[in-house]
Amino acid sequence: MTSSPILSHRKIIHIDMDAFYASVEQRDFPELRGKPLVVGGDPSGRGVVAAASYEIRKFGVRSAMSCYEARKRCPDAVFVRPRFEVYRAVSAEIRKIMLSLTPHVEPLSLDEAYLDVTGLPVHQGSATLMANWLRARILAQTGLTASAGVSFNKMLAKIASDINKPNGTAIITPADAAAFISTLPIERFHGIGKATAKRLHEMGISNGADLRRTPAAVLVYEFGKRGQFYHDIAHGRDERTVKSKRQHKSVGSETTFKDNLDSDAALKAKIYEQNADAFAQMQSKQLIAYTITLKVKYADFTQITRSHTLSTAFDNEQAAHYWLDKLFMDIPRNLPIRLVGVTYSSLALAAQILPQLNLFE
């Protein structure tokens, strides 16, 4: 027996910035406006697309595609390097706008977040009016457009934010949910990836109606615990809460080289660069770390990691250089290297150790 989504009373908004990195570049550099723009790496090397402007998406260019393939599809494409420090600053500005509406904000990435606005009296208590206010405020303050999805759970709000992109709002009400889900291709369901979708198609399940008709026991047998989740979302049930304080398990940065490297000096310079970026990310989240991990991928695509944990937190990015050097000396060097990365883990909030530090001042 299944409960109806109509009983749900929550009001969830999903905000998704439109082509975020590319839009920031076009905002800051007017000569890029209207151009087929790729934010990413070198199109003649191993770079990947971090963001694609709407002008270039009509050529089939999308995020995570190789820049080489992007140039093949659109020879007139303009390529610019990402400026993550700028994107993080703009994201923080957008986050402040969201928090001015509600403390219940769950960031998913720099360019998207969930908000739980259940019971808020502002804007006549209408989640749709709140979503439109957010979009207008973001545009006025940052010059960037956002799309919004409004519904009674996270899955449907996220799907809705994609319906009227770019620069639009879509609502999926409890009354409309069942009909909407019935026609939704399974690839559009949050949490169903390519491999799962392929298996579901093999089982004769291609849309929400097919998924809803499939007994939960069959889905659990086929997919384990996830099977129950698929059964629930087919019935419009997603009880996941908006988590305003997400626990970060790790913070890291990595880079793939245009050409494989074999020089100690060049490799250490790249490792230090990734360390600086990872440490800056950690500081922006007001976190401290006790464990550092060095990741290396070789020319044959095999990879290894080496880690070290301290009893006290890393004070600054330079303090990590000593341990990164030791970890670097510990890796086999029989092949050239194509990627290095640095990750901080065993994290804690910096504020949590301040009282302890003050005792010894």
Q: Cis ω on the peptide bond leading into residue 166 (within 30° of 0)?
A: yes
How is the beta sheet containing 337-349 ordered, strand by strand?
250-261, 337-349, 287-298, 303-309
| Locus of tokens 């949490």 | 191
Burial-class residue 341 by CB neighbours within 10 Å (0-12, 13-18, 19+). buried
| Locus of tokens 């400026």 | 83
Please pick, among 55, 106, 112, 317, the residue that the annotation labels catalytic. Answer: 112
Checking DSSP bridges between strand 78-80 and strand 37-40, what pairing results, if any? Answer: parallel
Distance between CA atoms of residues 285 and 281, nearest Å: 6
Quickly list H helices, the chain: 20-28, 54-57, 67-73, 84-101, 127-142, 154-160, 174-183, 194-202, 208-213, 216-223, 225-234, 264-284, 321-329, 354-359
Checking DSSP bridges between strand 146-151 and strand 49-52, what pairing results, if any? Answer: unpaired
The HSE-up count of residue 117 (CA atoms within 13 Å, CB side) is: 30
Distance between CA atoms of residues 342 and 233, nearest Å: 37
Distance between CA atoms of residues 101 and 11, nearest Å: 13
Residue 112 is a catalytic residue? yes
Determine how many CB atoms are found less than 10 A away from the CB of residue 17.
24
Catalytic residues: 112
